[in-house]
Structure 1
Amino acid sequence: MVDPALERARLRLRAAGRRMKFRRGQTLMSFGESSEDVLLIESGSLKVVLSERNGAQVVAGPYGPGELIGELGVLEHRPRSATVIGHHGGAAVRVSARAFRDLVEQDRDVLVLLNATLRARLHNADRRQLAIASQDVTTRVAAQLLAWAHAFGDRVGDEIVVSGIVQGDLAKAVVASNKSVDAALKTLRGKGLLRTGRLRYVLPDADSLEVFLRDRN
């Protein structure tokens, strides 16, 4: 069910910003640069690349239509903490930092959207840390693919297709080596829960994958 307050907030952000198109692989925000605007995704998807203290990179997202990107840096007047890259080509609305801060202060609906965004970020971060601490790589890979399938997968009959993700990004998302992820994918394929191709992950039966995850938790 669509929350009317969130939709009103997005309408106000669209009115305050300017629409831009982006392509796959395009960098829209770079780590360390000044936080001068916020993005509201209209179509397509974006991924966020985080650099950890040990030098490793973690991929968050992809984030899709209706989501905000870059809001924390703008609100806290600090540089970008991550790099934002086009995952699937699409469009977004750029809202200047000043306009976004004014809307947060003056418009209750925009504040509701901001709070919903921050809660979702915190929930996802907590879930990721719990998964890293308590789940094996096969479970983490299955859970991540299922989450992506529900978020932006394309349904083809009874199957759900997740496309456009390289295996390296999947490995970064679940904080595992490429070799471990390769073994996990082989396990899932062997159980008939997954088919893979170039930049393509096919879930023949998402319900069966959910049962697999419940049995492992």
Structure 2
Amino acid sequence: MISETGCVDGAPRSTFASRLGRITLSDFRKLGTTRKFTAGDQLFMEGDAPGNVFLVESGSIKVYMISPAGTELILGFRGAGDLLCETSALEGIPRSTCGTGRVDGEVTEVSRSAFRSFIRRHPEAMAHVFSVIRDRLRDSDQERLSYASESVAARVSRKLASWAAMYGSPEPGGKVVIRGFSRRELAQSVAAAEKSVDEVLVALRAAGLISTGRLQIVMNDPHRLLSWPLAQP
């Protein structure tokens, strides 16, 4: 699981903060104000004017978009070390996503002007910002391809495998457990109806690939998750 130091099961994640280095990161933090947020707090909204950037210090933030029909599409969960709202601040365009606290934590909030001045003084930081933007664009392209070409079963299996790699805790016998994610969040993360996702989870349980509990999914055989949809009629 992601720790407050931005680690996944003890291994460092590649984040904006981890790429900056200790001294440059300290300089960046001095430009802003660190504040607490709780689950459900709205940090920013899609369509907001360009403004502050956020460095996640601890906790988790749900990043999502809202369809014209009012449905949420979850783009991801950002943890310690992640930078948010950087594209809007750089380009001076309205924010393209919403951000809500998911797990209580803290963010360092840096004004747009201070952020832009910082990356002008630190060209290596600009390179890291571009790396963050590139990685997210690549992930977005892969998600769009998935929505257009994969079944709900394939999308659910792939998302569970991804969450297992990012947030999972190993269990005896090669199992992996992910905790704290609801079925609704899973449905919103794969752009599918909750009923359709429930049907996939029932099929995965019947195949012996997962077991479920309250806000908990155990992957009994994580390696078979991605190949399982291919065998379905």
TM-score, normalization: structure 1?
0.87
- Could you tell me the percent identity over the aligned residues? 32
1:138 has 2:168 as partner = no
- How far apart, in 1, do the equivalents of 2:29 and 2:218 lie? 34
Structure 1 residues 149-184: Cα deviation after superposition (integer angstroms, max 9, x where no partner): 222233344433222222222111111111110101
Residues 1:82 and 2:97 aligned together? yes
Q: How far apart in 2 are the matches of 1:54 and 1:129?
A: 19
1:160 is aligned to 2:173: no
Quick check: 1:6–1:112 contact (8 Å CA) kept in 2?
no
Correspondent of 1:60 among 61, 67, 75: 75
Corresponding position: 1:197 with 2:210: no
Q: Which amino acid aligns with 2:218?
A: V
> What is the alpha-carbon distance in structure 1 between the residues aligned to residue 18 and residue 195 of structure 2?
45
Deviation string 1:20-74 (CA, Å, 9 cap, x unpaired) is: 2222222111233333211111222111120234543211111222211111121
Whether 1:6 and 2:19 are equivalent positions in the alignment is yes
Q: Contact conserved, 1:87 with 1:164, CA < 8 A, in 2?
A: no
Inter-partner Cα distance in structure 2 for 1:69 and 1:207: 32
C-alpha distance in structure 2 between counterparts of 1:104 and 1:156, whole Å:
42
SS of equivalent residue, structure 2 residue 61: strand
Question: Aligned in 2, Cα 1:55/1:194: closer, same or farther, shift over 3 Å?
Answer: same
Q: Structure 2 regions of 5+ residues with no counterpart? A: 1-11
Distance apart, 1:211 and its partner CA: 4.7
Q: How many residues align?
A: 216
* 8 Å CA contact 1:10, 1:66 repeated in 2: no
Equivalent residue for 1:15?
30
- Greater Cα offset, 157-166 or 178-187: 157-166
User: Which of the residues 102, 105, 110 maps onto 2:120?
Assistant: 105
